[in-house]
Amino acid sequence: MLQTGDTLGKIAGEKAGILKRGIPAFTVQQPEEAMCVLEDKASNLNVDLQVVPPLDVNLLNGQKLGLEGEHQYVNAGLAIALSFTWLKRTGHLELANQDHTDSLPEQFIKGLTAASFQGRAQIVPDQYVDSEKDGDLVFYLDGAHSPESMEICAKWFSGAVKGEHQSDKAKPQVSSSTHQLKKNIMQILLFNCMTVRDPELLLPQLMKTCASQDVYFKKALFAPNMSVYHKVGTHALPSAVPEADLSWQLTLQRVWDNTMQKDKGREAKQVNHVAEEMKDDTGKGGGSHESSSVVFPSLPLAIKWLRDTVRQNQSVRLQVLVTGSLHLVGDVLKLIRK
């Protein structure tokens, strides 16, 4: 099922299909439209529907969640409630009867801090780039296909790149060699989404949220998902792929460019002297070295362009946000791993 509805109420109605008569259920705080639907479905099935609060960070005893993002504390609270209920139903009373409002079992803390979810708030430095002699290339991967999830993604990305910048500023410069000099840091977007999604809702939300954190994209790249056309390998990037229909990617590009034009004054202030280092020499797709976006006929070509850029410019660090379709995120993960 590609989509569960075009309103929160319809989506909640589909999600409520998991409810089973007489079986307890848990949710987190929802918008009123969605909560009313969930409560109505639960009432009809005699389901005890409980609203779970976010995890109190103090219960982690100074440790951090394994998953990045403030919203993960909401998910963690839900996971804890579900786990305690399962323990009770399966007779593990020594753990289930603990008061988890003041403390958590050691096993819970271990699980929460060790949890990982590939493609969600994941940071992957490109291992195919030699940072000792080339520029730096780092991928920030977080699938998002709704305005709400896109806002969360943008907040995470902005916080991550700003945190890295502050960390770099605090490091002493002990060498004058090229790879240890301060890098020109630029944020790049690599995006695609399914045609059932509305880019008019996704891309402006991403740009607005990042801009509110003083994070601006130097260029946006659009490419079709590789998994649509053939199986993605984990090593060499194929030199050629079947001809792809790029009409959707060109639509995404137009939405991005139009959004940029509406905010042209603010974006213009972010242009710096490394503009020429970001030129598009692919010869395919829309865009030029002066444009804010480019369409690539394939995902491998987009990644090749990113790698070529940092290999040709030792002073550049590209921070690439890969978002939108989870298929895109998965394809990129496969392509950048050795």
- CATH numbers and ranges of domains, the chain: 8-114 (3.40.1190.10), 122-336 (3.90.190.20)
Least confident of 112-116, 241-245, 284-288, 324-328: 284-288
What DSSP character marks residue 48? Answer: -
Residues above pLDDT 70, as percent of the chain: 79
Mean pLDDT of the chain: 85
Token pair for 300: 């491998």
Higher pLDDT, 290 or 135: 135
What letter represents residue 239's amino acid?
S
pLDDT beyond 90 at 96: no
d(CA 225, CA 113): 32
What DSSP character marks residue 181? Answer: S
pLDDT beyond 90 at 78: yes
Least confident of 140-149, 266-275, 305-314: 266-275
Least confident of 2-6, 111-115, 189-193, 194-198: 2-6
pLDDT tens digits along 228-264: 544 455 445 555 555 678 999 999 999 999 999 987 6
Q: What is the pTM of this model?
A: 0.79
Q: What is the pLDDT of residue 178?
A: 45
Q: Region 98-126: what's the mean pLDDT?
A: 89
Q: How confident is the model at residue 210 (pLDDT cuts 50, 70, 90)?
A: very high
Residues above pLDDT 90, as percent of the chain: 65
pLDDT tens digits along 147-166: 999 999 999 999 999 987 66
Q: What is the pLDDT of residue 133?
A: 84
Q: What is the pLDDT of residue 103?
A: 85
Q: Region 78-97: what's the mean pLDDT?
A: 86
Measure CA 166 to chain center. 21
Let me know: does 67 contact 79? Beta carbons within 8 Å. no
Closest CA to 71 of 28, 11, 101: 28
d(CA 102, CA 124): 36
Let me know: does 332 contact 124? Beta carbons within 8 Å. no
d(CA 223, CA 293): 11
Q: Region 300-304: what's the mean pLDDT?
A: 97
Q: What is the pLDDT of residue 227?
A: 72
Q: What is the pLDDT of residue 100?
A: 66
Token pair for 171: 């490091």
Token pair for 234: 């984990």
Q: What is the pLDDT of residue 132?
A: 80
